[in-house]
């Protein structure tokens, strides 16, 4: 068996195109465009590329992009003042502070300062809580994108065995919450799990988000499983995921590549969340 390669780029483009048409209607109804503010502190080259891509995707969708670039030595008070200004700005529907922040800034304090109703990253503790209890809020873009890819493969996820590899606040934990909401049986495995392979061999769905290149071996995958690789690891041989793609591909039913899998969906979901935020703030029903 050779797995279907999930074309994340095509899915992302379709989602962005759909949102762009909804944005056109929003603009006609609200008399303004949805706005996304992106804040970048410092000059990390990878972060600069992401921020540029987000700005382009925002404009392509017919939204306004407000980009704030601050020097690496910016102090916390200055960044918090900018966040407060964006919270108060009626033209701003979404606020994204690019992570990682320089070490001298307490990232948790900055995320806490963002208005939860403009937190299109879904990183604020209020949104983590809303997700945990199934209330409306914002779901982090990467796990949301993974869920959309899985739902395209499996119209019902109910009863499926899902294993999430990794327990971060931005991917692993919210991914597990989303899969639980879809009535999967969810297991989270992590660095202290005794036998990761044994758990994976039972999984109909694998979401890999550990940040270790090629960590997941082909013979850990159940035949026919759906494998979503969130890893973006820069190595000597280029960008690779957390899954040994060549080996897993021979066993899985469907698998995302890196690049061209989850990454583009993350940006498309950011555009989606910003549109949803703008609709909520204007009292317009979001078309999705
Ligand atoms: N506040 C915040 N929100 C984020 O959502 C956020 C962040 N900080 N910090 C960094 C990570 C990383 N991230 C990615 C987005 C798109 C791709 C993406 O489109 N990747 C392409 C390839 C990109 C490349 O070639 O480097 C792909 O996988 O095909 C990757 C990674 C968002 N992040």
Q: What confidence tens digit (pLDDT) does each residue in 3-37 have?
A: 999 999 999 999 999 999 999 999 999 999 999 99
Question: Does residue 216 sit within a domain?
Answer: yes
Written as six digits, the tokens of 269 are: 């979901």
Q: How remote is the CA of residue 264 from the centroid of ligand 1, in Å?
A: 8
- Residue 122's pLDDT is 98
User: What is the CATH number for 39?
Assistant: 3.40.50.10860
Question: Does residue 20 sit within a domain?
Answer: no
Taking residues 227-254, report their average pLDDT.
97
Ligand 1 lined by 42 (C-beta under 6 Å): no
* Domain assignment of residue 195, given as a range: 141-263
Written as six digits, the tokens of 149 are: 């890819």
Question: Does residue 81 sit within a domain?
Answer: yes
Mutate to test the pocket of ligand 1, among 15, 44, 50, 121 (most ligand atoms within 8 A of CB): 50
pLDDT digits (tens, 9 = 90+) for 170-224: 999 999 999 999 999 999 999 999 999 999 999 999 999 999 999 999 999 999 9
- Residue 112's pLDDT is 98
Beta pairing partners, 216? 243
98 and 40 Cβ atoms separated by less than 8 Å? yes
Question: Does residue 85 sit within a domain?
Answer: yes
116 and 134 Cβ atoms separated by less than 8 Å? no
ipTM of the assembly? Answer: 0.97
Taking residues 66-79, report their average pLDDT.
98
Cα angle: 251, vertex 181, 193; to 5 degrees: 55
Predicted confidence (pLDDT) at residue 1 exceeds the cutoff of 90? no
The sign of the torsion formed by the CA atoms of 58, 60, 62, 64 equals positive
Task: Let me know whether 88 and 158 are in one domain.
Answer: no
Ligand 1 lined by 260 (C-beta under 6 Å): yes
Predicted confidence (pLDDT) at residue 103 exceeds the cutoff of 90? yes
283: left (phi over 0), alpha (psi -120 to 50) or beta: left
Ligand 1 lined by 228 (C-beta under 6 Å): no
Question: Does residue 268 sit within a domain?
Answer: no
Task: Let me know whether 232 and 174 are in one domain.
Answer: yes
In our burial notation (b when 16+ CB lie closer than 10 A, e otherwise), range 31-52 reads eebbbbbbbbbbeeeebeebbe
**pTM of the model as a whole:** 0.98
Task: Let me know whether 183 and 232 are in one domain.
Answer: yes
Task: Let me know whether 111 and 57 are in one domain.
Answer: yes
Q: Based on the structure, what is the number of domains in the chain?
A: 2
User: What is the CATH number for 232?
Assistant: 3.40.50.720
Tell me which of 118, 150, 182 is where a domain ends. 118
């Amino acid at each position: 068996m050779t797995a279907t390669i999930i074309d994340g780029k095509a899915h992302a483009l379709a989602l962005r195109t759909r949102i762009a048409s909804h944005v056109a209607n929003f603009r006609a109804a609200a008399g303004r465009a949805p706005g996304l503010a992106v804040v970048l502190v410092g000059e990390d080259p990878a972060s600069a590329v992401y921020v540029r891509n987000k700005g382009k995707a925002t404009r392509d969708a017919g939204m306004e992009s407000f980009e704030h670039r601050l020097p690496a030595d910016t102090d916390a008070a200055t960044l918090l003042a900018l966040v407060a200004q964006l919270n108060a700005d009626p033209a701003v529907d979404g606020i994204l502070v690019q992570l990682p922040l320089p070490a001298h800034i307490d990232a948790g304090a900055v995320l806490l300062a963002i208005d939860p109703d403009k937190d299109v990253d879904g990183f604020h503790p209020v949104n983590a809580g809303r997700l945990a209890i199934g209330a409306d809020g914002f779901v982090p873009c990467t796990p949301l994108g993974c869920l959309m890819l899985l739902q395209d493969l499996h119209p019902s996820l109910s009863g499926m065995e899902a294993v999430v590899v990794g327990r971060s606040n931005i991917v692993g934990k919210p991914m597990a919450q989303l899969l639980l909401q879809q009535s999967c049986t969810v297991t989270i495995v992590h660095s202290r799990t005794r036998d990761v392979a044994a758990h994976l061999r039972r999984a109909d769905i694998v979401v890999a988000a550990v940040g270790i290149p090629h960590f997941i071996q082909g013979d850990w995958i159940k035949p026919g499983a759906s494998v979503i690789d969130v890893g973006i690891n820069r190595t000597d041989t280029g960008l690779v995921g957390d899954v040994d793609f060549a080996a897993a591909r021979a066993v899985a039913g469907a698998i995302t590549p890196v690049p061209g899998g989850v990454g583009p969906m993350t940006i498309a979901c950011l555009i989606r969340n910003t549109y949803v935020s703008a609709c909520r703030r204007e009292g317009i029903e979001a078309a999705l």
